[in-house]
Structure 1
C-alpha cells in the first residue's frame, strides 16, 4: 500500500474502550479484524492503484488502525451527511436560526425565484433524494464555485423530471445544492460557515474544511485523472460556492473516524437505564442526538440488490445510505466521487466497526474496496447467522481460543462469494427500479421529444464531427472531464476499429440486431450520411435481446439515459449517453466491440 505509517500497536491498544460490543471478546477480536482489513486492502489497492491512498479502521467507535492519516482528501459526496446534519440540526434546535424550519416546507419558501417543478420539492424530498430530479453527477461535480447569482439564474430554468416529487428515489446533487441555499436562508450565514462552526469545530474536526487554500499545503492531496494513453493529469481543485453542499468538504481519515464515532454514539441502542443522551428542549439534553440518529434512518426505499453475494435491501436516509442483508445486517455508508478523487465510509452499527477508504484518482473504486474490507472486518469479529438464521455479532469461545493459541481462524469464503463480490458494481447507487423493468419487461418510459432529438443529434455528431454542434449539445463538464482533442482522438480510433471511418453505415439499433432490414442505410445522392432513424416510436424489448428486427431505435433506460448500437463493417459500436437535469449531454460512452481492437471513450 502506497500510504504512510500505520498506527503503532500501543496506539491501537489504547484506542478501544472497554465497554462496547468487543469488550467481552478480548484482544484477539481486534487483532483478527486488523489483520483481515489489512490483507483485503493490500490486495485491493494493488488491483486498483492510485497515486495516493488513505484508509482507517474503526472499532468500538474509535480509530484503531490506518495509513496516511495526516493527508486531506476531497471527500466529495460524503459531504452530504454534514449537509443533512446541518438541516436537521436547525430543525431540532442544535443550530440557531432566525426562523423555524419544517422538513415539509416547500423549496419555494427559501428559493422563490425557482421554476415551478423545483419550487414544489420539499426539504424532506431533497434530503431523501425524492425530489424527482434526474441524476446529475458529472455535471454538478463541476459547479461547486458557482456564485449565488448564477445559482439563482440556474434554478429559474425548468428541469427534466424522473417522477413527481415525493414518489420515488433518484440521486440528485441539485437537490442538495438547494439544501445549501435553505441553510443559508434560515440562518443568515454562509453554508460553509454553518457547517464549520456548528459541526466541524465542536467535534474537533480541525483537519477538515471547505477551502483548500485554507488547509496546510503539505496536507493537501492532489487529485488526478487518468488520460486515454494511461498518463496522469493533475486536476485543479475547485473553491467554495453555491454547490459546496453537495461535496465540497476536504477531510482526513481521523476526522471522518471521529464523525463516524459520533454517529454511532447517537444511534447506540437504548439500555435498561434509558437513553444516555436525548434530544429535545429539556435542560441538559443533547440537541444533536436526534438529528444524528435521524440522518442514519432509512427514509426512501431504493430496491433489492442481489449483485454482491446475496439480497441486500437498499434505502436512503438523509445524506447517508442504508444497506441490510440477511448475513451481516445493516451497514450505513456513503461514497464520494469528484474529479480526481474517490472515497467511501461504511460502518456496521451492530459491532460499532467501520472502514474508511480514500483515493486520489477519478473513479477510484473506494466503495467496492471499503465494502469488502468492512465485510472482512465484521466476519473477523464473528458476525454470522445465529441459530435462528438472523444476523448476529458474537465471537465464539473456540474462535477466541484459536486466536490466542495461534491456530488459524480465517473464515471460510466460497469461491462463488468472492466472484460475486469481485463483480459487484462500483457505483454508489443501485439502479432505480424503473431501469431493470426496461431491461426485463420492455416497459416503455415517457421521454421528452427534446431528449429524443438530442440522441439523434449525438449520433450524427459521432459520424460527422462538428465543434459547433458539440458545443450546443454538451454540458460544460464534458470538455473538463475529457478534453475535446482527447475525445476526438479516441472517437476516431473507435470508428476506425468498427470500419466506419469513411464508410457508409446504418443508423443506431437498440440491442444490436444484425438481421437484414435492421436499419442499414446508404448515403443519399448528395453524399450525406444516412439519416438516424426516428426515435419517436418507442418499442418494447427483452433483457439482452434489443429491438425487434427491422425496428431500429434508441432504447431509453430512463427519461435521461439512452443507449443504442451501430453495426460497422468490421465491428459493432455501442453508445450510451446521459443527460443533465436541463437536457444537455453530461456523460457519453462510445465503445467498439467485436473487432481486433476495442477502444472506448467514457464520459
Structure 2
C-alpha cells in the first residue's frame, strides 16, 4: 500500500477564496502521505459555509476498496465525536431536562454509587465531564478499545471502583470515561439509545446522511479500512459496533458531512438579532461550546531567540483550553481556532476552524492515531495567509465620539468641560477634577501645545476608545471607557504625554520603525543591542514579525516613560507588533510582543 494515488476537487469562484492557491494545500497533504508513516490513505477538505471549498485525498481506501479516498469517503472520526455528545447534553440542558451542575449520579443510578475522590470531594457533575475536569486519569489507550462494552459489563467495571488523579472540578485532564458518563446521562433522560438520540436530534435535521455510529450502515466501497503499522506492513483493524463507549469516539463520517457540522459552529458568530435559522442548537449554545471553560496547564520553553514560548501541556498546539467537546486555542496572529483531534484503532482525524472567518479544515487518515492534525493545521494557515482576514472590527457606540469631543475640549484647556454631563460623577470621585487638571498641565509641559486633530483611533470594545493628538515635542495619548448605563458616560479616563525620543535614542527608534516597514536599515553605531543578539539578528526578527501582521500603516511610538524608554506599535490586518525599547548608556534593550488587535473602523464618524 505504498502506492500514492491522489485526486482533488474544487468549487471555484467562492467568495474570499480567489487569492488561494489550493495546489499548496494539496502539496502539504501529498508530502504527509508520501513519507509512508502517516497512513495508507488520507482525505481532506478546506471547508466554509457548510461545504467543501477544496478537497482531495491520497493513497488507498482499503484492501477491499482500492480506490483513492476523498471528501465522500467514510472514516471513523474518533474523538471528534465528543462534540456530538456535548451537543446532545446541551440540547437537554436547553430543554430544562438537566442542569450542568447536576451530579451525573443524579440521572444514572450506577454512577450514583461511584466512590468520591476523597471524603470532602464533591460528586462528578455533568459540567466536569463536559470540560474534562472530572478528576479521572487520561485513558486513551484503554478506552479506545472498549466501544462495544455492554451496559452490564460497564456496571460491573464501575462497581469495582474508579481511580482519581484530582478532585472533580479542579483541573483539566483528558479522560474519555467522563464522556461515557455523559452518554449514559443522555440515555437515562431520554429512555432511548444514545446513538439514536444524536441521529434524531442532529444528523437527520442537518442532512448529514453519511454520518453514523454503525459501520454496517456504510456501503463497503465508501468505507475506509483502518490500519495499524506492524514493522514494514499495514495490518487491517477490525471495526467495532456501537456500545457503551460510543459517546467517546464512535462516529463515522465524511469530510463533506463534517463541513456541515463545522459550519453550524462557525455560523454562531457573531451574536446578532436575526432569527435563529434551522440549526437544532441555539446559536448561544453553539457559542458556549466554543469558549474555554477549563484552562489547560501550559508548558513554557525558550525559543531560538531566547524568549519564552508557551504551549498547551500534553498537546501539540499552542495555548488552549477545553470548551464543551471542543478545544479552543488562542493564536497571537489569527485569534481563536476551535478544533478537536481524534485517534482510534485504525484511524486519526482532525477538524479545525478559524472562529472569525469560519474557514476550516477536516482531515482523516486510516491508520491508528494518524497525526493528520499536522498537515491540517498547516493547510488552514496556508489558506488564511492567502485570504488575509482582517482583525475583528469593533463598531463604537455613537456616544463614544460625542464623549471624545468633550475630552478634547478639556485637554485643550477648557476647564468648564469637567461639568459636562457626559462624565460620570464617579470619574471625579476616583480623582478630583482639580487633580486631573493639574495632571493635564504637567502633560502639556512635557510635550508642549497640541498641534493637530485626533488621529490613530482604535478600540477594544464598543464602549472604549484610544486616540492620539500631536504636540510640539511629542503626542498626547487619550484612552476612555464608558459605563454600561443608558446613556453611557465616561467612567474612566487616562491622558498621557508621550515625549519624542532623545536625540541619542531617536536613530534607534527610527531604525526599528524602518525594520517594521520591511526595510533593512543600518543600525546606529553609537548603541548596541543588549545581550548576545546582533543588530542583524534583531532587524531580521522585526521584519519577520512585520510579515506576520500585514501592516496597514507605519509603526509609531505609542508610549514613553521618558525620552529613553519608549513603546513602538505597528498595527496590521492580522495583529499588531509591540516593541518596548529602553536605552541605558550605549546599550538598548528591545522586548517584542505579537498580539491579536481589534481595529475600530469607526463606521459611525463625527459629523460635527
User: Normalized against structure 2, the TM-score is what?
Assistant: 0.56
Partner of 1:54: 43
**1:420-569 equivalence runs, <5 A:** none
Partner of 2:52: 63
Q: Is the 8 A contact 1:61 1:352 kept in 2?
A: no
Q: Is the 8 A contact 1:61 1:353 kept in 2?
A: no
Q: Is the 8 A contact 1:79 1:248 kept in 2?
A: yes
2:9 alignment partner, SS class: coil
Which of 336, 340, 344 pairs up with 2:346?
Answer: 340
Partner of 2:109: 112
Partner of 2:188: 185
1:239 alignment partner, SS class: coil
1:285 Cα shift?
9.9
CA distance in 2, matches of 1:167, 1:145: 31
Stretches of structure 2 lacking an aligned partner (at least 5 in a row): 57-69, 304-308, 311-317, 393-455, 461-539, 545-608
1:308 Cα shift?
12
Please list the CA deviations of residues 104-146 of structure 1 after superposition, one character each: whole Å capped at 9, or x if unmatched.
1101112323322389100000000000000000100010000
Q: Does 1:303 align with 2:302?
A: no
**1:581-600 equivalence runs, <5 A:** none
1:124 alignment partner, SS class: helix
CA distance in 2, matches of 1:353, 1:334: 15
Partner of 1:210: 213
CA distance in 2, matches of 1:359, 1:388: 48
Larger Rg: 2
**1:219-368 equivalence runs, <5 A:** 219-227=222-230, 229-266=231-268, 268-271=269-272, 274-277=273-276, 287-304=281-298, 311=310, 312-368=318-374
**1:79-94 equivalence runs, <5 A:** 79-93=81-95
Please list the CA deviations of residues 510-544 of structure 1 after superposition, one character each: whole Å capped at 9, or x if unmatched.
xxxxxxxxxxxxxxxxxxxxxxxxxxxxxxxxxxx
CA distance in 2, matches of 1:334, 1:45: 21
> CA 1:207–1:110 in 2, change beyond 3 Å: closer, same or farther?
same
Partner of 1:36: 24
Please list the CA deviations of residues 186-213 of structure 1 after superposition, one character each: whole Å capped at 9, or x if unmatched.
1111000001111111111100101111
Runs (4+) of structure 1 exceeding 6 A deviation are: 384-391
1:331 alignment partner, SS class: strand
Q: Is the 8 A contact 1:127 1:319 kept in 2?
A: yes
> CA 1:286–1:220 in 2, change beyond 3 Å: closer, same or farther?
closer
Q: Is the 8 A contact 1:140 1:173 kept in 2?
A: yes
Which of 178, 195, 199 pairs up with 2:198?
Answer: 195
Which of 141, 146, 149 pairs up with 1:146?
Answer: 149
CA distance in 2, matches of 1:191, 1:224: 27
1:176 Cα shift?
0.3
Q: Is the 8 A contact 1:133 1:161 kept in 2?
A: yes
Structure 1 stretch displaced more, 372-381 or 303-312? 303-312
1:383 Cα shift?
4.5
Partner of 1:5: 7
Partner of 2:75: 73
> CA 1:378–1:122 in 2, change beyond 3 Å: closer, same or farther?
same
1:155 alignment partner, SS class: helix
Which of 122, 132, 135 pairs up with 2:135?
Answer: 132
CA distance in 2, matches of 1:320, 1:154: 28
Please list the CA deviations of residues 207-236 of structure 1 after superposition, one character each: whole Å capped at 9, or x if unmatched.
010111111121111111111x22111110
1:91 Cα shift?
0.8
CA distance in 1, matches of 2:263, 2:93: 22
Please list the CA deviations of residues 545-580 of structure 1 after superposition, one character each: whole Å capped at 9, or x if unmatched.
xxxxxxxxxxxxxxxxxxxxxxxxxxxxxxxxxxxx
> CA 1:287–1:246 in 2, change beyond 3 Å: closer, same or farther?
closer
> CA 1:305–1:328 in 2, change beyond 3 Å: closer, same or farther?
farther
Please list the CA deviations of residues 240-296 of structure 1 after superposition, one character each: whole Å capped at 9, or x if unmatched.
000000000100110011100111112x1135xx24428xxxxx9975323322211
Please list the CA deviations of residues 23-60 of structure 1 after superposition, one character each: whole Å capped at 9, or x if unmatched.
xxxx533x33x243223222222234421110000135
1:79 Cα shift?
0.2
Stretches of structure 1 lacking an aligned partner (at least 5 in a row): 94-98, 279-283, 392-412, 418-603
Partner of 1:471: none
CA distance in 1, matches of 2:215, 2:12: 30
CA distance in 1, matches of 2:170, 2:4: 45
How many positions carry a matched residue from both structures? 367
Q: CA RMSD in A?
A: 2.9
1:158 Cα shift?
2.1
CA distance in 2, matches of 1:308, 1:295: 32
CA distance in 1, matches of 2:329, 2:46: 19
Q: Is the 8 A contact 1:70 1:252 kept in 2?
A: yes
2:267 alignment partner, SS class: helix
Partner of 2:478: none
Partner of 2:126: 123
CA distance in 2, matches of 1:108, 1:137: 23
Question: Which structure ranks higher in relative contact order (CA pairs < 8 Å, sequence separation ≥ 6)?
Answer: 1
> CA 1:287–1:84 in 2, change beyond 3 Å: closer, same or farther?
closer
> CA 1:379–1:83 in 2, change beyond 3 Å: closer, same or farther?
same
> CA 1:232–1:301 in 2, change beyond 3 Å: closer, same or farther?
same
CA distance in 2, matches of 1:374, 1:296: 18
> CA 1:203–1:293 in 2, change beyond 3 Å: closer, same or farther?
same
CA distance in 2, matches of 1:12, 1:242: 43
